[in-house]
Structure formats: structure tokens, C-alpha cells
Amino acid sequence: MGSLSDIGLAAGINILSALGFLLAFAILRLQPINDRVYFPKWYLKGIRNSPRHSGNVVSKFVNLDFRTYIRFLNWMPTALKMPEPELIDHAGLDSAVYIRIYLLGRLKIFVPLTVLGFCVLVPVNWTSKTLENAQEVTFSEIDKLSISNIGQDTQRFWAHVVMAYVFAFWTYFVLYKEYKLIASMRLHFLASEKRRPDQFTVLVRNVPPDPDESVSEHVEHFFSVNHQDHYLTHQTGFWGLWGKTLDAIDYHTAEIEKLSKEEDAERERVISNPKSIMPAAFVSFKSRWGAAVCAQTQQSSNPTLWLTEWAPEPRDVYWSNLAIPYVELTIRRSLMAVALFFLTFFFIIPIAFVQSLANLEGIEKVVPFLRPVIEVQVVKSLIQGFLPGIALKVFLILLPTILMTMSKIEGFTALSALERRSASKYYLFLFVNVFLGSLITGTAFEQLNSFLHESANKIPEIVGRSIPMKATFFISYIMVDGWAGIAAEIIRLKPLVIFHLKNTFLVKTEQDREQAMDPGCLEFASSEPRIQLYFLLGLVYAVVTPILLPFIIVFFSFSFLVFRHQIINVYNQQYESGASFWPDVHGRLIVAMIVSQLLLMGLMSTQRAPQSTLLLGLPVITICFHSFCKGRFEPAFVKLPLQDAMVKDTLERATEPNLNLRDYLKYAYIHPVFHSDDIEHPLAIEEEERNPLVATKRNRSTPGDSKYASETSSDINF
């Protein structure tokens, strides 16, 4: 348990190191040679050109204009200046809403909570004498500021109970306002969108086999009968049979020709083989109204056939999962639920196993011929010092990928859904292994075991009791993991190194240089759950140890600044889902509130505060609040209201009476493997390039475009 000055010192060191990162960033970003690392978004939009074309040799690589170094912190106000509507236009709604999470955390929830906490709870805690009177207990100033200092003086707990209610109601108010605002932003965004293929299109899965008709004919007949006034056209999906990956960076024309022929033959084979047609189709309608109706209704009396849902936008489709039968889907999800349970609670077992192998005797037994190398003293100490930690580190680095793979096995058909699903899994993992794991000693499965053997009302008490004691630990966690992590994010070390390596050894044409650039994107699946962990810490400690809150505010402010800069200058989103992740974000905040309320109750009952039963109402109110918000706002993220569809249809009919929708939609949904030049260029894509929704330069050679679309063929048409 550190004293206040210890914490202050640590905070100082962390702030200094963060400032160091920022300084490094400020200098690196000014160098022309790094321009494509720190401003890739502008390149992709075609607005920025390489500053290296002009000037002398040195100034191509190093910025010699010293005036710019004086204004090196300029990027901060610039990042904040762009107004929100322009930001949505520039980076998309997903990104704009994502950084609102930081704003929500900082300004709207934790600043008022901190002010109240410091005005009311800190004086109440500080002026109590329990810890000072207890002779044998060692305590720190942090403890004196926390609820631990109240002890027998139970009248003072009234302050905490009242504040718990005030905090909860303030948070409800903020969350309600935010959910309402984002729902209306989404509806406004959808309403003001240009014409896009997914507005007219529905994804149909589990088309039943028919002995007399091909899948395509069957789809056509079914929808021309059952949606006779609205059906327009459809496209069926193909199996993943398109063969080997081809490397685009290949200069020999002869080679290219040969490969192109093979590619054509393969494509020909796939198209002509009826077995390679998936029992799934993208069905398009004459109006948005018709599509909205089909997406929201049940088609067949067997609810596992002819399943319809909104088509994701073309970039967002995850093609490999389109053709999973219903029964298989149930089995896959059940298996993944069991797997997630084991992964969360028992991941330590295989790691411990690897660690047990990773001692010297183990390695020598497995690979005896390496003995001479291992016995060298330097290698020996290296192995002994690093290996055990490395197994865990490698696992943690791989974890988001593992979780994403599990979500893919579960069979979601859109990348956005996959990311949302992986985020839920990651949050569970962090909650159990970081939050509970830090509060209770022992591994996750030891905790699980002890929880199973404890009574239901004892669990919050056990966890609650250790909360005040861990405040110092979490303060350093916030500084080391949070502050430093964000500072590392802005400097983009990995893309920086990789870009320069590629640039030096591989890049030969301007096209190559474009490809060497890795703009990256907001990794929702891994970064959102980590924000949620800070929300959880903030809500749990708001009443218990308010001194922790300023550290969280610094984290949120800093993150807000950095990510706003990144989405303006760097990230290039893969797809646009219209903030469809907000119900998940809201749901996890509700979970954090309930956890914090239960733990406060547990903590107060271990201190024999008679007021603790008064806190029973809070989780109940929170659950009611959640069910209210869910009914009130969630449909806006799931369904498209018919009224809105009708308004857009009517408007379009009035302004463009001669629109040929069939041509527009003809090639909107084709598997990325067929995005080749010999297939006529889709009208929808052309139009989107002229009138981009999110103004990105839709260059199909951008590495991001088909990154997930199909791992086996990601480069076939470059």
C-alpha cells in the first residue's frame, strides 16, 4: 500500500514517459519520410501527396524547417477542432460514435462523480479516526481517504449510501441521454445516406434444396410469388472453391499471363459447377420498403428455412459463413459457449504446461541435440528469465485472434457482428482474469471453485472486502496499462518499422508504396472491452476510494485526444455499421453498474453497516432501467422502420423517376474473388466511388479491402 507521495512519484514518472512518447511522436510525424505512417488516411482519400517530391535530397527525408518544431504540439488542438458532423463525414459514424465513448466516460460520467466524491466522500472518510485508533494496523493515506477509514462510526455510512444513489441516478441520466442521442444519430445517418445496395437487399440463408430447380431458380420463384409486387433480382453466393493464392507483386508479364489463364479457368469451373453454389442469396427489391418488409418477416412455415435478415453492406459481408445449416449453427454455438467457459477459467492450465516444459531439463529432454547451445551461460539465463513469461505474453497477444476465430466458428455473417461478438468474449475474459483476478488471489478456476462453495450473499462480501485494499494496485494499473498504452498507440511503432522495412527492401513502384502503408483501423473487438474495464474500475471505486477517479479521467481525456487524432489522420475503417455496436457498449456499462452496486453492498455489510440493505434497491432499479432502454432504443439498431423506408422511396421516385435499379444492383454483391477486370465493373461500386458514403478513395488494391473477406484468396486480384 503506497502513500500519497509514492503514488504521486509514480504518476510523475508515468506522465514524463507519456510526454516522452508524445515528444517522439511530435518529431517523427514532422519527418517527410514518415508521412505515410502518420497520415495514411489522407493518402487513401487522395488528398495528400508525398511531400518528398520537392526539395533537396535531405529535406526529402528529414524536416529541416525549424519553425514547425516550435509548433510541435499543434496536432492536439487540430485533433479537437474538426466538428462532429464533419468528422462523421470524414471517418464514418462508427468511428465518431466510438470516440464518444471516451467523451462519455470523461466529461459526462466521471468528472461530476469526481467533483461530488471529493466534496462529500473524501472529507467524510478523512475525518474519521478508525484507522488511526487501531494501533496494530498499518495503513496509508490512500486508506485514510477510502471507506475503510469509517469503521465503527456507522452514521457516516449514510453519506456513502446517499452518494451511491446520486451516482447511480446521474449515470442513468447520462446513459439515457447518450443512448437517445446515438439512436437519433444513427437514424439520421441512415436517412441521409446516399443510395446504397444494402438498402435494397436482404440476405437469405438456408434456401431448401429442390430436386427440379437450381438454387438460383428456386430463390427467384419463391420471392416472385411471395413478394410479387416488390421482388427485383438476386445474386447467389459461391462456395470457397476458388483455389490458390496468387502473389500480386510479380513483374514477369509472361508469368502474369499464365496465372491469369489459370485464374480464369478456375473461375469458369466454379461458376459452371452447380455444387459450388451456396444455399444462400442476396435478394434485392424494387424499394427500400420491400426490403425492410422481407428482412423483418418470417417467410416459410418452417422457421429454419428461408431465413431473411438485412444484408450487411458489401464490404461487411463475411462470405465463408453464409452457408451454415441451422442445426449445425446450434451445435457450433453450444460448443463455443463451452469452449469460452474453459478458455476463461482454465486458460492457465495449458500455459502452466508450456511453462513446465520451458525449463532447461525439459528442453534438453525434448531436443537433446541442442544441449551444447543451451549450456552456454548467456542462453541459459535468457531461457530461464524469459521463457515462462513469454508463454503467457504470447497467449495474451494471440487472445483477440483466438476469440475472433471462435466468433467465426459461431457463424455470424457480417464482420461487424463478428467484432461485437468477440468484444463480448474479451470483456468476460478481462472481467474474470483482470478485475476479479486482481481482487482475489488465486487463478480463475480456483476462484470459480471457491465461488461454487460459497453462499450467494458471501460472494459480494469476499470480493467487496478486498476492494479498498487494491486501490493502489489499480491506480498503477491505470497508469502503466492505460496511459502508457495510449501513448504507444499514437507513435505506431509497429507500422512505422514495417513500413520502413518494406520501403527499403520491397517497394519498387508507387503502387507498392501505397500497399506498404498500413493505416489500420479501430480494433473494436479488443479496445472497447479495455475501455469498459476502466469504466468498471471507475464505477466500483467512485464510492469506495474516490481518489482513483482522477487517474481514470486522465486516461479518458488522453485517449479521447489520441483516438480523435488517429481516426482523423490514420485509421481506414473496413466497413461502416452505423454505430450498431452501441447496445453492446450500453449493456456492458449496465453490467459494470450492477457489479459495482453489489460489491458496495457486500463491502458495507462486512463493515457491519446497517445501511447496506438500503442498497438492495439499486441493482433492481438498474435492471429496470436497462429493460426500459432496451425496449425504447434497441430496435433502432436492429430494424429499419417502414416509415423511414417509405420516405426515402417516395423522395427517390420523385427525384429520379428513370432510375434503373436492376443495373445498379447487378454486381453489388459478388464474392471478392470475382472482383476481376474481365467482369464488368459494378455500377453500384462505381457510383459509390463517385459519391462515397464515407469519403475514402475506394481503391481495390488497398490492403484493407478484402483483409477478412477470405483468407485463402486475399490477393487474387491484385
Contact 60, 33 (CB under 8 A): yes
For 154-184, the three-class secondary structure string (H helix, E strand, C coil) is HHHHHHHHHHHHHHHHHHHHHHHHHHHHHHH
Contact 312, 238 (CB under 8 A): no
Kindly tell me which of 83 and 631 has the beta carbon lying closer to a second copy.
Answer: 631
Q: What is the full DSSP assignment across 50-76?
A: -GGGSS-HHHHHS---HHHHHTTTTHH
Could you tell me the strand order of the sheet in which 201-205 lies? 231-238, 277-285, 201-205, 307-310
* 409 lines the binding site for a second copy (CB under 8 A): no
User: Exactly one of 41, 227, 408, 492 binds a second copy (CB under 8 A); which one?
Assistant: 227
User: Exactly one of 229, 361, 677, 678 binds a second copy (CB under 8 A); which one?
Assistant: 229
* 187 lines the binding site for a second copy (CB under 8 A): yes
User: Exactly one of 152, 224, 330, 384 binds a second copy (CB under 8 A); which one?
Assistant: 330
- Give the three cell numbers for residue 26: 511530435
User: Exactly one of 292, 391, 475, 615 binds a second copy (CB under 8 A); which one?
Assistant: 292
Helix axes 157-192, 93-103, angle to 10 degrees: 170
User: Exactly one of 457, 509, 613, 701 binds a second copy (CB under 8 A); which one?
Assistant: 457
Backbone dihedral region for residue 393 (phi beyond 0: left; psi -120 to 50: alpha; all else: beta): alpha
Kindly tell me which of 152 and 627 has the beta carbon lying closer to a second copy.
Answer: 627
Q: How far apart are CA 171 and CA 169, in angstroms?
A: 5
Question: Which residue's C-alpha cell is 447511480?
Answer: 168
Burial class (CB in 10 A: 0-12, 13-18, 19+), 496: middle
Candidate segments 64-72, 120-128, 478-486, 638-646, binder of a second copy by CB under 8 A: 638-646
CB 410 → a second copy: shortest distance, Å? 13
CB 197 → a second copy: shortest distance, Å? 21
Kindly tell me which of 245 and 334 has the beta carbon lying closer to a second copy.
Answer: 334
User: Exactly one of 451, 477, 674, 718 binds a second copy (CB under 8 A); which one?
Assistant: 451
Reference 581, options 227, 316, 366, 208; nearest CA is: 316
* 651 lines the binding site for a second copy (CB under 8 A): no
* 350 lines the binding site for a second copy (CB under 8 A): no
Candidate segments 429-437, 448-456, 480-488, 691-699, binder of a second copy by CB under 8 A: 448-456
CB 87 → a second copy: shortest distance, Å? 23
* 640 lines the binding site for a second copy (CB under 8 A): yes
User: Exactly one of 17, 140, 300, 511 binds a second copy (CB under 8 A); which one?
Assistant: 300
Sorted by sequence, the CB contacts under 8 Å of residue 454 that are 6+ apart come out as: 462
* 476 lines the binding site for a second copy (CB under 8 A): no
User: Exactly one of 48, 60, 458, 500 binds a second copy (CB under 8 A); which one?
Assistant: 458
* 654 lines the binding site for a second copy (CB under 8 A): no
SS3 (DSSP) at 42 = helix
User: Exactly one of 550, 641, 692, 703 binds a second copy (CB under 8 A); which one?
Assistant: 641
* 192 lines the binding site for a second copy (CB under 8 A): no
Q: How far apart are CA 600 and CA 590, in angstroms?
A: 15
Binding site residues, a second copy, CB under 8 A = 187, 222, 225-227, 229, 292-293, 296-301, 303-304, 306, 326-327, 330, 334, 338, 451-458, 620, 624, 627-628, 631-636, 639-644, 646
